[in-house]
Chains A and B, each alone.
Chain A
Amino acid sequence: MNPAAMDSDDLSPRRRPARDANAVIPTGVLAMLMFVACEIMFFAGLISARFVASATQAGWPPPGQPRLPIGTTAFNSLILLGSGVALYAAQRALSQGGGGWRVVLSRLRLAIGLGGLFLLFQGAEWARLLHYGLTLQSSAYGSFFYLIIGAHAVHVMAALLVMALVYRGLARGRIPVSRFWAAQVFWYFVVGLWPVLYVLVYLV
Chain B
Amino acid sequence: MAVAAALWLPTLGAFACPVCFASKNESRVAYYVTTAVLLTLPWVMIAGFGLCYRSLARRKEDPRPPAPNGPPPESADSDS
Q: How far is the CA of A25 from the CA of B49 in the complex (A)?
A: 11
Tell whether A78 is near chain B: CB-to-CB under 8 Å: no
Q: How many residues of B contact A (CB 8 A)?
A: 20
Q: How far is the CB of A67 from chain B (nearest CB, A)?
A: 21
With a cutoff of 8 Å between Cβ atoms, the chain B residues found around residue A37 in the complex are: 42, 45, 49
A41 touches B57 (CB 8 A): no
B31 touches A52 (CB 8 A): yes
With a cutoff of 8 Å between Cβ atoms, the chain B residues found around residue A54 in the complex are: 30
Per-position 1/0 for B6-30, Cβ under 8 A of A: 0000000000000000101011011
Tell whether A106 is near chain B: CB-to-CB under 8 Å: no
Q: How far is the CB of A129 from chain B (nearest CB, A)?
A: 25
With a cutoff of 8 Å between Cβ atoms, the chain B residues found around residue A52 in the complex are: 27, 30-31, 34
B41 touches A24 (CB 8 A): no
Q: Which residue of B lies closest to A45 (CB)?
A: B38
B42 touches A24 (CB 8 A): no
Q: Which residues of B from 27 to 80 have beta carbons under 8 Å from A? A: 27, 29-31, 33-35, 37-38, 41-42, 45, 49, 53, 56-57, 60
Q: Which residues of A from 126 to 163 have beta carbons under 8 Å from B? A: none
Tell whether A33 is near chain B: CB-to-CB under 8 Å: yes
B33 touches A51 (CB 8 A): yes
B53 touches A56 (CB 8 A): no
Q: Which residues of A contact B (CB under 8 A)?
A: 24-25, 33, 37, 40-41, 44-45, 47-49, 51-52, 54-56
Q: Which residues of B contact A (CB under 8 A)?
A: 22, 24, 26-27, 29-31, 33-35, 37-38, 41-42, 45, 49, 53, 56-57, 60
- Given pairs A24-B53, A47-B34, A48-B35, 4 additional interface contacts (CB within 8 A): A55-B24, A55-B27, A56-B24, A56-B27
A-B contact list, 17 entries, CB within 8 Å: A24-B56, A24-B60, A25-B53, A25-B56, A33-B49, A41-B38, A41-B41, A41-B42, A44-B37, A45-B38, A49-B34, A52-B34, A55-B27, A55-B29, A55-B30, A56-B22, A56-B24
